[in-house]
Amino acid sequence: MVSADPISKIQLGESPLQALYQALATDGNGLDSEQAGLRQQHIRASKPHTESGARKVMATLVNQFRSPLVLLLVVAVILSAFLGEVSDTLIIGCIILASGLLSFWQEYKAGKAVEKLQKLISQKSTVIRGNTEQVVDAQDVVPGDLILLKAGDIIPADCRIIESNELHVNESSLTGESFPAEKMQGQIKEHAALSNTFNCLWQGTNVISGTSRALVVRTCADTVFGKLRESLSESSETAFEHGIRGFGYFLLQITTVLTLVILSVNIYFGKPWIDSVLFSLALAVGMAPELLPAIMTVAMSTAAARMMERKVIVKKLSSIFNLGEVTVLCTDKTGTITEGSVRVCDAVDGTGISRQHLRQYAYLNAVMQQGFVNPIDEALSDLTLDSKGYRRLNEVPYDFIRKRLTVLAAGPGGNLMISKGALESILEVCSRLEVDKGVYVPLDEARRRSLLCQYQTYCEQGYRVLGIAVKQTRLDHITRADESEMAFAGYLLLEDPLKSSSLSSIQKLRELGVEVKIITGDNRFAAMHIAKTLGISGDRIMTGPELDMLTPEAFGKRCSGIAVYAEIEPHQKVRVVKALREQGAVTAYIGDGINDVAAINAADAGISTHNAVDVAKQAADFVLMEKDLSVLADGILEGRKSFANSMKYIFITTGATFGNMFSVAGASLLLPFLPMLPKQILLTNFITDLPALAIASDQVDPQQTRRSGKWSMSLIRRFMVVFGLHSSFFDFLTFYVLYFKLHLSGAAFRTGWFIESVITELLILLVVRTRQPFLSSRPAKALLWLTLAALLATILLPVSPLASELGFTEISQRESVWIAGILVLYVVTADMLKVRFFQGGTRAGQR
């Protein structure tokens, strides 16, 4: 068994490879499955203790009772038990427990749903075990493993390079250096800086280009990244999370002031101090939106489950709100606008004549390359051509600077270099033109212009065009320096037709207020062809070179009006996304390649696909199982529904709850008795919370999803004032009727006011859940039935066996008529007020 201590002391880059093999108890040929299994067990045993499933469940349950207000109430209840108030203690304790259990159950179910979604995405690594290649979960890689890496892979451990080919790695997360670091086998000097360890690979970095075979030395917390994980894993706060935090502080301030004032006044007027303390704390708990975290989590997990049905996997729940706020979607055209299934149409020489040997060149280049998988090479590999007589020697992998891929093959006529890539990149390394197989002429300037004109013609016809170049050589190993003095052989004509759904998907996004911007590395002519097909005018296209000529200020003014960006480099994608954000747009970016990672990170909502490279999937907030804009439109719609449903609870909390609690507090100052007992306040809170749990799955009016939802604290404050005063007016009207008109006091008064308070909160939920007249919008069945059940329970409580213990008494028919009349008037006026309020908010641009 390998001990962790010797490994942690090894100088990864300075030690000879043989010393590493010896320390890792391996011979350099990899581990077998049994050795790997034992080392996995050892790693798990040495990890810091993690909570078991039962412990996590218990922790979730305990968290429901950690609120300072709830803890204070528990202390006060225990104190009242010592003073002999046993029945009140039991009742209040049961209500607190039931409320906590309700919140726990919702959070537990939401957590289980999230776990299932997260299991659908896991990082994979290719290792050699038992002399065979195996794909395993990255977390199962152990010291001593031999790992195979290619472009797009995330490095799962700290490794020492055994062999490599044109390997370039992005180490910006560790070194801060934006340019890829070139890596190769060798041994470094002692005490070299991290940025100079050319022979080491570090966990959390990713391969930009090339391939490598490396020895895994350190994993988990022993890695450089593992030691920095805590600081590097901090995620930025979303706009909605920031708003919720501000809303929490706002309510806390109001609750604290109101509670202290009520407590002081009640004690000043000589009311029993234990009753006053319990009453004040119960009032505070009644005002606190204790279900908000659970409702938000349920809303997001429900949306995530619905998005999963539409083949969208949510990696971070809080990002659902960001997706709902999106106003601009940036996307490549391949696979989203187009079918994504590349078809090889032809391979033609410089005069436009189809040549079979050019197909052979392209086929050999595709089947012999060992870099990252891409649709073009997959399409070429599917050609039914014979590669007999050819043998791969090595390659210079594709990268986004050279924009070409070169393989070296041994064939019947000797060793042959075959390059394939962007036309201008191919022409850079060509000095000759192949006019027939094996027949060459000099590639002068006139011929270059002619080739570029022919290229433009093909692009304008909608083809994706690549160049092919060849060179006979005696070399048996090539590098980038050998890509010179080649012969241009011809064009490879590819086709990726538009999806039949593209136009309708873009129209659907436009109806949601989302503008689609195409960002592609293709040339301007192909981009203009796409734009024309999609009905986009040619003056809304910008190329990468044109973008580079603009200052940030000038580009910022123009970026919103550009619909298609062509010939774009990876760093320019980031510039486009950032400029759009600076102009006030909420951006989403969808990409699946290494060159998309930075833009995915820069966007408000990063989106990748299930077949993307590992680093793109890790950077993304969402992963599409189908690369289709219509799927994304559904995701944006779900995000807006989640936002709308969460805001419903916030409006209800700040309106009816605040109004009712303010009224109870005010009445306690004016009446010679407490208007409600502490247990009745908590019972009010408990009953009204029951239907609120179903808000997360409520239906949302179409007009609320036509535009992105925006967090607005000013709107919430205005709602609280307007509807709080409206609710308080009817509470005081009830107070007047019960006390002065019907001459009720004590239990009779409390019963009447309890019924009115609870039913108004239940009814305002049905009123506020829609911005239409509430009878014209049907709530979800769960919400409707829970509301009716809570309403029935409220009416039956005063005549139930628990009535006396809860401090209730049966109300007369006359009292019932008065309360019913007040409730009808309340609903009618609240509905009219709501329609006018939100119409004004819409005109002000607040949705």
Q: What's the pLDDT tens digit per position in 530-574?
A: 888 887 766 688 988 899 899 989 998 888 889 899 888 877 898
End-to-end CA distance of the chain: 62
pLDDT in tens, 263-318: 787 777 777 777 777 777 666 666 666 566 666 767 777 777 788 787 788 877 77
CATH code for the domain of 567? 3.40.50.1000
CATH code for the domain of 39? 2.70.150.10
Using the predicted structure, report yes or no on whether residue 649 has a pLDDT greater than 50: yes
CATH code for the domain of 457? 3.40.1110.10
Neighbours of 746 (CB within 10 A): 11
CA gap 271, 333 in Å, rounded: 73
pLDDT at 77: 63
pLDDT at 231: 40
Residue 12 forms part of a structural domain: yes
Greatest alpha-carbon pair distance for the chain in Å reads 112
Neighbours of 553 (CB within 10 A): 8
CA gap 846, 843 in Å, rounded: 7
Using the predicted structure, report yes or no on whether residue 162 has a pLDDT greater than 50: yes
Running DSSP on this structure, what letter comes out for residue 294? Answer: H
Residue 285 forms part of a structural domain: yes
- Domain residues for the domain of 823 are 262-304+636-843
Q: Are residues 280 and 140 in the same domain?
A: no
Q: Please tell me which of 48-52, 164-168, 672-676 the model is most confident about, judged by mean pLDDT.
A: 164-168
Residue 90 forms part of a structural domain: no
CA gap 86, 443 in Å, rounded: 100
CA gap 716, 238 in Å, rounded: 18
CATH code for the domain of 292? 1.20.1110.10
Using the predicted structure, report yes or no on whether residue 823 has a pLDDT greater than 90: yes
Residue pair 232/268 in contact (Cβ under 8 Å)? The answer is no
Q: Are residues 401 and 459 in the same domain?
A: yes
Residue 611 forms part of a structural domain: yes
Query: How distant, in Å, are the alpha carbons of 67, 296, 622 from that of 70?
Result: 5, 20, 36
pLDDT at 846: 41
Looking at residue 504, its amino acid is: S
Query: How distant, in Å, are the alpha carbons of 464, 489, 787, 826 from that of 794?
Result: 69, 85, 11, 18
Q: Please tell me which of 226-230, 485-489, 711-715, 831-835 the model is most confident about, judged by mean pLDDT.
A: 485-489
The vertex-480 CA angle with 17 and 126, nearest 5°, equals 45
Running DSSP on this structure, what letter comes out for residue 438? Answer: T
Average pLDDT of the residues in 124-145: 88
Q: Are residues 659 and 777 in the same domain?
A: yes
Running DSSP on this structure, what letter comes out for residue 223? Answer: S
Neighbours of 775 (CB within 10 A): 11
Q: Are residues 756 and 657 in the same domain?
A: yes
Region of 490 please: left (phi>0), alpha (psi -120 to 50) or beta.
left
pLDDT at 121: 55
Q: Please tell me which of 239-243, 348-352, 667-671 the model is most confident about, judged by mean pLDDT.
A: 348-352
Residue ending a domain, among 590, 625, 660, is: 625
Q: Are residues 297 and 333 in the same domain?
A: no
Among 332, 399, 731, 831, the active-site one is 332
CA gap 761, 723 in Å, rounded: 11
Q: Are residues 511 and 463 in the same domain?
A: no
Candidate from 405-414, 426-435, 716-725 with smallest mean pLDDT: 716-725
Q: Are residues 617 and 684 in the same domain?
A: no
pLDDT at 477: 92
Average pLDDT of the residues in 110-117: 57
Residue 590 forms part of a structural domain: yes
What residues does 150 pair with on adjacent strands? 211
Running DSSP on this structure, what letter comes out for residue 771? Answer: S
Mean pLDDT (the chain, rounded): 81
pLDDT at 470: 96
pLDDT at 475: 93
Q: How many domains does the chain have?
A: 4
Band of residue 79 on the pLDDT scale cut at 50, 70, 90: low
Query: How distant, in Å, are the alpha carbons of 148, 162, 164, 200, 210 from that of 215?
Result: 9, 7, 12, 10, 17
Annotation says 831 is catalytic: no
Q: Are residues 393 and 490 in the same domain?
A: yes
What is the β-pairing status of strands 541-543 and 564-566?
A: parallel
Residue ending a domain, among 567, 592, 625, is: 625
Q: Whose CA is closest to 597, among 213, 169, 50, 283? A: 169
Residue 59 forms part of a structural domain: no
Q: Are residues 664 and 803 in the same domain?
A: yes
Candidate from 69-78, 190-199, 221-230 with smallest mean pLDDT: 69-78
Q: Are residues 734 and 790 in the same domain?
A: yes
Residue ending a domain, among 193, 217, 232, is: 232
pLDDT in tens, 225-266: 777 654 434 445 556 666 766 776 777 777 777 778 777 877
CA gap 168, 176 in Å, rounded: 15
Residue 91 forms part of a structural domain: no
Q: Are residues 654 and 688 in the same domain?
A: yes
* Residue 826 host element (H or E): helix 813-843
pLDDT in tens, 4-37: 445 555 678 888 888 888 888 887 788 888 888 8
CA gap 380, 377 in Å, rounded: 5
Q: Are residues 323 and 299 in the same domain?
A: no
Residue 76 forms part of a structural domain: no
Give the percent of the chain with pLDDT over 70. Answer: 83
